[in-house]
Structure 1
Amino acid sequence: MLAGMALFEALVVAHVITGAVGLTAFWGPIVTKKGAARHRSWGKAACYGFLGAGALAIAMALLSLYGPEHRHPEVTDRALFDGLFGWMMLYLGTLTIGFVDYGLAVVKHSRNRRALRSFRYQAVIAAVVASGAWCGIYGVKVGHPLMVLVAVIGIVSMLIQQLYIWRKGDPPRQTYIGEHFRALIGMGISAYTAFLSVGLIRWVPEEVFNPLVWAGPSVIGVSLILFFTLKGKRTVAPRPASAARPHPQQVGDGLV
C-alpha cells in the first residue's frame, strides 16, 4: 500500500510539472503571430506538456480505480469518487491526447487529408469516443450530469473531426488551419477542465461540484474559437472591387 501511495504521489508531481508547462505555454500560440517561429515554439511546448499530462492523468486514473488504497477521504461516495477521479480523469486525459494528436496531424497532412483515415489516427479518435461514452454512462449512473456534459462535448468534437477527415472531395484551401486551431483550443479546454475539476479538489474540495468550475474553460475556449474564426473570415474576405482598383492619381504618382 505504501508503495502504491508513493507511486501515486510521484505521478501527481510529474503531472503537475507537465501540466504547468502546457497550461502556461498554451497561451503563447494564441498571442503570437500565426505561423511564426515563436508561435511554433510555444505550440510545441504546449503540446508536449499536455501529452505528458494526459498520459499521466490516465495512469493516475487507473491507479485510482484499481489501486489498493482509497484517497480523498472527504469524498464519502466511493462510486462518485470512481467517476470523478477514475473514469472522468481517464477520459479527460485521453481527450487531451486526442486533441493534440489531431491538431498536429492536420498540419502534418495538410496536403494529404486521407492519411488521417489510417488506423493510427482513427484508433486515437475511437479511444476518445469510447472513454467519453463510458464517462457519460457512468455519470448517468451516479447522477452527475456534468460528467455527461463533458463526455458529450468531447464526442461531438471527435465527430466534427471525422466530418473533415471523411468529407468527399477536397476542402477549400487553408481549411486545415481552422481544424488545427479548434483542436488545440479543445486541448486547452480539456486540460483546464481536468485541472480545475479534478486537481483543484486537492486544495478546495468543497468546490468540486461547482458548475462554474466545470463550465469556465469551455466558455472561455468556445469564445476564443468564435473570436478567431470570425477574425479569420474577415481577414480572407475579398476586398470590394472599388477598393482593389488603384486610384488614377496613385498611378500618376507612381505608387503602383
Structure 2
Amino acid sequence: MELLVFHGLIAAHIVTGTTGAIAFWVPVIGRKGGVNHARWGKVFAYAMMATGSFAVCMSLMTLVDPFGTHPHLADRFDANFIRGLFGWMMLHTGILTINLAWYGWLAIRNKGRHALNRHPLNVALQYAVIAAALACAVDGWFIGQYLMIGIAVVGVATGLTNLWFIHKPQIERADWLKEHIKALVGAGISVYTAFMAFGSVRVFPELALHPGMWSVPLIVGLAIIIWHRLDVDRKARQVRARRVGAAA
C-alpha cells in the first residue's frame, strides 16, 4: 500500500512537473504582459506549487522508509544515501520550488502594493526553505555528499534575499518585476534540474550526482534571468529618459 501511494505521488509529480516545464517557455519567450503571458504564467506557477507539494510528500515518506519507497535502489545504495538524496535534498528542493512559485506569483499580483508581500505565508516560506536547506547541508556533510551542501546554498540565498525584498521599506516598479523574473525562472530551473538529476537515478544511477546534471539547467536559467533583468533595467532607463525629456 505504501509503495502504491508513493508511485501515485510520483505519477502526479511527473504530470504537474511536465505541465510546468512546458508552460514555462510561453512567458519566457513570448510577449511580456500579454494575455498568453499571464495565462501560461499562472499555469506554470500553479503546476510548480503542486509539483513541489508532491515532492515534499515523497521526501517525507522516504525519510520514514527509504527502502520501502525505493526498493529498486536497495542493492545499489545504503539507507543513508537514499534518505539524503530522496529525503532531505528532495524536501529542500520541493519547498524551494513552492517558495519560488508562490513568491514570484505574489510579486506580480501585488505589484506596487508592496506591503501585501509581507503576507504571513510568504514570510513563513522563506524561513521554511532556509531551515530545509540547513537540514540538507548538515545531512550532506554527514554522509559525504557535498553536492547537497551546494544545493543548500541556493535555498539559504533564496530565503535571505527574498526576506530582504519583503522587508524593504520602499520599492520601484523594476524591483518587483525583477523579483518576479528571478523567482519564476528559478522555479523553472528547479523543475528541469529535478528531471535531469532525480530522473537520471532510474536510468543512469551513477550520473545522479554528476555536476553536469545539475549545472545545465542552472546555467540556462541564470542566463535567462540576467537577460530579462537587463531588459527591465533598459526599459526603466528609457521611461526615465522620456519623463526627463517631457519635463524639460
Matched residue, 1:57: 55
Preserved contact between residue 59 and residue 91 of structure 2 (Cα < 8 Å)? yes
Q: Where does structure 2 lack aligned partners over 5 or more consecutive residues?
A: none
RMSD: 1.9
Matched residue, 2:46: 48
Q: Which moved more, 1:108-117 or 1:230-239?
A: 230-239
Which residue of the other structure, out of 13, 27, 30, is the alignment partner of 1:32?
30
Matched residue, 2:205: 205
Q: Which moved more, 1:75-84 or 1:228-237?
A: 228-237
**1:61-99 C-alpha deviation (Å, 9 max, x unpaired):** 111111372522253232111100111111111100000
Structure 1 consecutive aligned stretches of length 4 or more whose deviation exceeds 4 Å: none
Task: Give the superposition deviation at 1:205.
Answer: 1.2
**1:25-68 C-alpha deviation (Å, 9 max, x unpaired):** 11111011111000011111111211111111111111111137
Q: Aligned to 2:199, what secondary structure does the other structure show? A: helix
Task: Give the superposition deviation at 1:108.
Answer: 2.1
Matched residue, 1:15: 13
Matches within 5 A, 1:107-126: 107-126=108-127
Preserved contact between residue 92 and residue 191 of structure 1 (Cα < 8 Å)? no
One-letter identity of the residue aligned with 1:220: V
Q: Distance in 2 between matches of 1:215 and 1:128?
A: 21
Q: Percent identity?
A: 32
Change in CA separation of 1:56 and 1:240 when aligned onto 2, cut-off 3 Å? closer
Preserved contact between residue 96 and residue 129 of structure 2 (Cα < 8 Å)? yes
Q: Distance in 2 between matches of 1:171 and 1:31?
A: 26
Q: Distance in 2 between matches of 1:70 and 1:204?
A: 18
The answer on 1:83 being equivalent to 2:81 is no
- TM-score normalised by length of structure 2: 0.90
Q: Which has the larger radius of gyration?
A: 1
Change in CA separation of 1:74 and 1:37 when aligned onto 2, cut-off 3 Å? farther
Between structures 1 and 2, the one with greater helix share? 2
Q: Distance in 2 between matches of 1:41 and 1:107?
A: 13
**Count of matched residue positions in the alignment of Structure 1 and Structure 2:** 240
